[in-house]
Amino acid sequence: MSEYFDPYNADRPLMMKCSCGRDHSPADHHAETVADGAARELRARSETAEFEAYSNAFIEATLVKALFPQDEERRRFLRAVGKGTAMAAIASVLPVASLQAMAQEKQGALEKTDLKIGFIPITCATPLIMAHPLGFYSKQGLNVSVTKTAGWALVRDKMINKEYDASHFLSPMPLAISMGLGSNATPMNVATIQNINGQAITLALKHKDNRDPKNWKGFKFGIPFDYSMHNFLLRYYLAEAGLNPDTDVQLRVIPPAEMVANLRAGNIDGFLGPDPFNQRAVFDEVGFIHVLTKDLWNGHPCCAFGTSTEFIQKNPNTFAALYRAVLNAAAMARQPKNRELIAKVIAPSQYLNQPEAVLNQVLSGKFADGLGKIQNVPDRADFDPMPWQSMAVWMLTQMKRWGYVKGEVDYKAVAEKVFLITDARKHMKDLGMEFKAGPTYTKHTIMGKEFDPAKADAYLKSFAISKAA
Amino acid sequence: MKTASLNLRAAVVSLLIFVCFIGIWQLATTGPSIGGSSAGMTAEEIEYAKMMGKDPGAEKSSGFPPPIEVAKASWAHLSDPFYDKGPNDKGIGIQLAHSLGRVGLGFLLAMAVAIPVGFLIGMSPLMRKAFDPFVQVLKPISPLAWMPLALYTLKDSDVSGIFVIFICSVWPMLINTAFGVSAVKREWLNVASTLEVNPLRKAFQVILPAAAPTILTGMRISMGIAWLVIVAAEMLVGGTGVGYFVWNEWNNLSLTNVIFAVLLIGVVGMLLDLMFAQLQKAVTYVE
């Protein structure tokens, strides 16, 4: 007790309430400081030489992957210019202080330091959000305010209106906005993928004995937005089971929090939604986790971090700094040992406004599935920032498959315009290096079927259920 | 004496209704307590229960919150109304101030447009007929329908919120002003013409006082609508305000805080209405 009531401590106010001066018990104060404490601990971890080395290696690996998606390409390039020059070019986008100063000297200071970044309060936004309390933005010399946004359509509008400098997106959104689907065509770029995996199909408890999707005719499902991986994955999953998602079931666009409320009310039978709302449905005892999207496509992208092409062109240094901050956060979020503390940092009402217990289950991958079992899936949600352009091509094939895009689509042109790999290529050119490596295409396996971005049209034609002609 | 006893009796009945309401609410929401003993459970079952937020000692609200919980939450919010923890977490006082600011601005704009135009329409039967179809079509449009249009054209979410307040509160004021002006007694206008009062003086010293009670009725209705609209608009646009607070707590699926916000919105709306009632009393005259 003396910790709380210490009349001999010069710094303590002499009153019978909390030492912070506010009218609550010291126990309440303790709960409030937990988040601060976790942030402090994470910040300390981020300042160790060990993490810095890890983070640099992580970002370097991401960049090298981005630059050389194909092994032969990488070997050829490294043989041609040598490891040293290649590393110097990559280092120019690394968050190493001295190199950063050097890069800034060469190219001028940050064009804009006060930035407004939007996010939707879901765990997908973790790196973007945690970079704020952990001071990753300020370390890059940026004064960022991360602003909670009421919905995806609003994110789109605020990006087009330039109210936000950069934002959390659903990864198909920048493609759709750039193509003018459901909005004015405004060129947008994906800088990094925020998270991979991390969604699930959640069903109402009354369906716990009806797990075969073939029997789901007439079901009503919630999805967060038309141009979302959630929509495309759910449609894919249903179509694989022989259901036509346009005629056999109803798909409704519902904000995630309302998905849980609607599930409770029995208005929908299930949803493919972002976490933490899958886990929240379990926590609130209204639903169970039927399948993780990880089991449909392991490593699928979900949300992205991006901005408008105009912003990048006007503020290249600011963008590079922002990019470094978010990559740093992704490196930290990637380490499982940090996840428990991250859950504490992003739980308060300022960020996700969710029970810490729920976030912890989502991020740690050890979770209650709603059917009485504890499951242990460490990569239930993960953070791999690499924006493979092949992923963009897949999204485009699905947009075409379900009739969001009509006519011919030049998959590769759109993918390469929107999914920015990094500005490392530009830096290489600045250093006078000839750079020939191609764009980043790789094959993916989705529900056991291989997707080869080089044969996108054949892939599209191979589906029995499809709206594409 | 008789009115006093009526007031007293009304107060007693109000109190009774209130107590019954709270009592029924309390009874309806008293369920079996969660948690309980962990005896006879395997280690995994205990861990599962913990993951569901049911470990002994943990507070987890499931279902509809009882009144005592709402009271506690209300006290917590009201005892520290002006904290500011960054752009996404501000005290309820700050949120209210944002909402009231938006409502005030939109309402003033609506006044600036509705009262002059209402005067014009009220004075001239031609204008009234000409304007009528527009007013009738625009009046019933919901604020939520205006929002996408506003966002698209005004390109600023704050301005859009104010615009929506403006566009929704302009009509009752306009219609009431027009009605009030057109209903000014012929004799008074005739007296004014006989005395050769100039038009400006006629407007301010004859028509305005005569129409003031009707105009204020319009303003009172408009203020009610504006307060209704702001909550919906802020839920859509987010950022700050009481509507954002409700949305944010909805996102958290916290019924307790939503109930608190709903009560607060009701109380503030009532205070605004009382304010206009007082103003109305001040301008009412007896013939």
Whether the predicted pLDDT of B59 surpasses 60: no
Spell out where chain B has E strands. none
CA nearest to A159 within chain B: B155
Are A196 and A300 contacting, i.e. CB atoms less than 8 angstroms apart?
yes
| Share of residues in chain A with pLDDT > 90 (%) | 1
Long-range Cβ pairs for the range A407-412 (8 Å, 24+): A411/A453, A411/A456, A412/A439, A412/A453
Instruction: Give the span between the Cα atoms of B193 and B202, in whole angstroms.
Output: 9
In DSSP terms, A118 is beta-bridged to A147, A167
Reported as a single tens digit per residue, the pLDDT across B227-272 is 988 888 888 887 788 888 888 888 888 888 888 889 999 999 999 9
Task: Give me the helix-helix angle, B143-154 and B208-237, nearest 10°.
Answer: 80
Whether the predicted pLDDT of A95 surpasses 70: no
Asked if residue A276 has a cis previous peptide bond (ω within 30° of 0), the answer is yes
Instruction: Give me A135's structure tokens.
Output: 């001071």
CA distances from B36 to A201, B139, B211 (A): 31, 56, 67
Instruction: Give the span between the Cα atoms of A189 and A174, in whole angstroms.
Output: 6
| Share of residues in chain B with pLDDT > 70 (%) | 91
Reported as a single tens digit per residue, the pLDDT across A297-324 is 888 888 888 888 888 888 877 887 888 7
- The answer to whether the CB atoms of A260 and B237 lie below 8 A apart is no
> Which has the higher per-residue pLDDT, A249 or A3?
A249
Strand order in the sheet with A287-292: A250-253, A220-223, A270-274, A199-204, A287-292
The minimal CB distance from B44 to the residues A22, A350, A374 is found for A374
Q: What is the H or E stretch that residue A449 is in?
A: strand A449-451
Bridge-based pairing of strands A114-119 and A143-148 is parallel
Task: Compute the average pLDDT of residues A47-72.
Answer: 69
Instruction: Give the span between the Cα atoms of A280 and A262, in whole angstroms.
Output: 13
Reported as a single tens digit per residue, the pLDDT across B82-93 is 877 777 778 888
> Which has the higher per-residue pLDDT, A413 or A30?
A413
Mutate to test the interface with A, among B34, B253, B254, B260 (most CBs of A within 10 A): B253
CA distances from A266 to A207, A231, B34, B76, B230 (A): 11, 20, 23, 33, 30
Whether the predicted pLDDT of A439 surpasses 90: no
Are A341 and A41 contacting, i.e. CB atoms less than 8 angstroms apart?
yes
Name the nearest CA neighbour of A223 among A199, A189, A192. Answer: A199
Chain B CB contacts of A371 under 8 Å are none
Whether the predicted pLDDT of A105 surpasses 60: no
- The answer to whether the CB atoms of A154 and B238 lie below 8 A apart is yes
DSSP single-letter state for residue B189: H
Bridge-based pairing of strands A199-204 and A270-274 is antiparallel
What 3-state class would DSSP assign to A46?
helix
Whether the predicted pLDDT of A22 surpasses 60: no
Instruction: Give the span between the Cα atoms of A239 and A460, in whole angstroms.
Output: 13
Give the range among A83-87, A311-315, B129-133 with minimum mean pLDDT.
A83-87
Whether the predicted pLDDT of A101 surpasses 50: no
How does residue B3 score in pLDDT terms, banded at 50, 70 and 90? low
Reported as a single tens digit per residue, the pLDDT across A188-233 is 888 888 888 889 999 888 888 888 888 888 888 889 888 889 999 9
Helix-strand-coil split of chain B, %, nearest 5:
75, 0, 20
Task: Compute the average pLDDT of residues A228-244.
Answer: 89
- The answer to whether the CB atoms of A154 and B86 lie below 8 A apart is no
- The answer to whether the CB atoms of B253 and A163 lie below 8 A apart is no
pLDDT at A99: 39
What 3-state class would DSSP assign to A213?
helix
Instruction: Give the span between the Cα atoms of A384 and A386, in whole angstroms.
Output: 6
Min distance A431 CA to chain B CA atoms (Å): 40
- The answer to whether the CB atoms of B235 and A150 lie below 8 A apart is yes
Are B101 and B230 contacting, i.e. CB atoms less than 8 angstroms apart?
no
Give the range among A156-160, B82-86, B227-231, B279-283 with minimum mean pLDDT.
B82-86
DSSP single-letter state for residue B29: H
Mutate to test the interface with A, among B42, B55, B251 (most CBs of A within 10 A): B251
- Is the Cβ of B269 closer than 8 Å to some Cβ of chain A? no
Mutate to test the interface with A, among B52, B80, B94 (most CBs of A within 10 A): B52
Instruction: Give me B191's structure tokens.
Output: 């007296």
Instruction: Give the span between the Cα atoms of B283 and B278, in whole angstroms.
Output: 9
- Is the Cβ of B4 closer than 8 Å to some Cβ of chain A? no
- Is the Cβ of B153 closer than 8 Å to some Cβ of chain A? no
- The answer to whether the CB atoms of A283 and B52 lie below 8 A apart is yes
Whether the predicted pLDDT of B39 surpasses 70: no
Within 8 A by CB and 6+ apart from A84, the residues are: none
Instruction: Give me B25's structure tokens.
Output: 């609410």
Instruction: Give the span between the Cα atoms of B125 and A391, in whole angstroms.
Output: 65
Give the range among A169-178, A394-403, A405-414 with minimum mean pLDDT.
A405-414
pLDDT at B20: 92
Instruction: Give me B225's structure tokens.
Output: 């609508």
> Which has the higher per-residue pLDDT, A105 or A174?
A174
Task: Compute the average pLDDT of residues A151-159.
Answer: 86
Reported as a single tens digit per residue, the pLDDT across B203-235 is 888 888 888 888 899 999 999 989 988 888 888
What is the overall mean pLDDT for chain B?
83
How does residue A90 score in pLDDT terms, banded at 50, 70 and 90? low
- Is the Cβ of B84 closer than 8 Å to some Cβ of chain A? no
| Share of residues in chain A with pLDDT > 70 (%) | 79
Instruction: Give the span between the Cα atoms of B162 and B158, in whole angstroms.
Output: 7
pLDDT at B12: 92
Task: Compute the average pLDDT of residues A114-143.
Answer: 86
Are A221 and A327 contacting, i.e. CB atoms less than 8 angstroms apart?
no
Instruction: Give the span between the Cα atoms of B167 and B175, in whole angstroms.
Output: 13
Are B231 and B266 contacting, i.e. CB atoms less than 8 angstroms apart?
no
pLDDT at A96: 43
Chain A CB contacts of B53 under 8 Å are 283, 355, 357
Task: Compute the average pLDDT of residues A264-284.
Answer: 88
What is the overall mean pLDDT for chain A?
78
B23: Cα within 13 Å, side-chain hemisphere: 6
Min distance B113 CA to chain A CA atoms (Å): 27
Reported as a single tens digit per residue, the pLDDT across B70-112 is 888 888 888 877 877 777 778 888 888 888 999 999 999 999 9
Instruction: Give me A271's structure tokens.
Output: 């949803």
- The answer to whether the CB atoms of A355 and B53 lie below 8 A apart is yes
Instruction: Give me A99's structure tokens.
Output: 């190199």
DSSP single-letter state for residue A124: G
Chain B CB contacts of A163 under 8 Å are 156-157
The minimal CB distance from B155 to the residues A147, A149, A161 is found for A161
Give the range among A172-181, A365-374, A441-450 with minimum mean pLDDT.
A441-450
Which residues in A have their CB inside 8 Å of a CB on B? Answer: 22-24, 121, 145-151, 154, 157-158, 160-163, 255-258, 260-261, 280, 282-285, 348-351, 353-355, 357, 361, 367-368, 372-374
Q: Where are the alpha helices (DSSP H) in A201-337?
A: 229-240, 256-265, 277-283, 309-314, 316-334
